[in-house]
Amino acid sequence: MASILVTGCAGFIGSHLCEHLLQGGHHVIGIDNFDPFYDRTIKEQNLAGFIHHPRFSFHELELRQGAEALADALPAAPIDLVVHLAAKAGVGPSVREPVAYLDTNVMGTLQLLEWMRQRGIQKLFFASSSSVYGNTPERPFREELPLLQACISPYAASKLAGEQLTYTYHHLYRLDVLNARFFTVYGPRQRPDLAIHKFVKLLRAGQPIPVFGDGTTARDYTFVLDTVAGINQGIDYLLAHEQVYETINLGNSRPVPLLELISALGEAVGVEPQLEFQPMQAGDVDVTYADIRKAQALLAYSPRTSLAAGLQEFVAWLDSRPPASPTPIW
C-alpha cells in the first residue's frame, strides 16, 4: 500500500477521499488550513470519522507558508504520491475577491510543487475544474481544446494556471502528473455555499429559489463517490506508470438544465418549488458538459450514480445532521 498526502483533506471531496484511501489500506497524511470561507466546525465534522485512524495523520497547515514550512511540519517518512485538492473554491466569490483566489490557488500550488521537488516526490494528482472551459462553444468539452482565452472567472484562471505549473514541473523536473477537471460535484458533505445545498434549505424553509438567467443553464452534475472513484483510479494509474503527464475530465457526461435540477430537488424533498428569476451572475458559464472518453480509456472511469439517487443521498445526509445555529441561507 502507498503513503499518500491529501491537501484539503477536511473538505467535501477530500474527506470522502481520505476515508476511501484508508479503507483501501493506504497510509494517509492530511493537510488543511481550515479556510474561513465556511464554518470550521463543518470541516471538523468531516474529519471526525477518521481523524483517529491509525494510518491517518493530520496537519493544520497553510501551503503558502512555503516549502520550508511544509518540510518542518510534515514527517520525514517516504510519501509516494500527492493529491492536491486544497484551493479557494467557487466562481462567484472569486469575482469579488480575485487577488485572494489567485494568491491561494496559484501560489499555494507553486509552494507545494517546490516542496515536492525538494523532497523528491514524483507523483501528483491535481484537482482542476470544468470552469477552465468557460463558454467554449464546442461540446462536449474535450481535454485538448485550446483554453488560453476561455476562462471567464478568476477561479477558472487560477485552475488553468495550476495546470500550467504542473506541466512546467513535469517538463523541468520529471514530475508525473494527472490533472483532473472536476464537473459540479455534489452529495453528502457538500459545501454550504453550493447551489444544491442552498436550494434544499430554501425548499424546506418555504422560500423561493433564485433562478439566475432563464433556467436553461446546465451543469454536468457528478456524485461525490463517483468523483472519488475516479481519483482513486487516477492514483492507481500514476503509481503504475512513469513519465506521465495527462489531463482528464471527471464528469458525468450529461448536462442537467437548472429547471430540471430544481424539479428533481423538489421531488427529493417533497416540496413544490417556487421560482424567483434573476439576472445571470458574473463569471457563470452557460453549460458544462464533460467528454469522459479519455478517463474511460485511461482509468476505466465509469460514473454510476443517477441524479435522482444522488440527490436522495444528499437529502438523507442533510436530514441526519444535528441542528445547527441559524445562518443565512443565501
* Catalytic (active-site) positions: 155
**Residue labelled with grid coordinates 500550467:** 164
Handedness of CA 269, 89, 214, 291 (dihedral sign): negative
Question: In angstroms, rounded to a whole number, what is the distance separating the alpha carbons of residues 277 and 279?
Answer: 7
182, 127 Cβ separation under 8 angstroms:
yes
Contacts of 319 (CB under 8 A, 6+ apart): none
Q: Can you tell me whether residue 290 is helix, strand or coil?
A: strand
Question: In angstroms, rounded to a whole number, what is the distance separating the alpha carbons of residues 161 and 271?
Answer: 42
19-49 CB burial, b ≥16 within 10 A, e <16: bbbbeeebbbbbbbbbbebbeeebbeebbee
248, 310 Cβ separation under 8 angstroms:
no
DSSP letters along 57-99, please?
A: EEEE--GGG-HHHHHHHS-SS---EEEE------HHHHHH-HH
Find the helix or strand (DSSP H, E) in which 171 lies.
helix 154-173
Question: In angstroms, rounded to a whole number, what is the distance separating the alpha carbons of residues 63 and 197?
Answer: 28
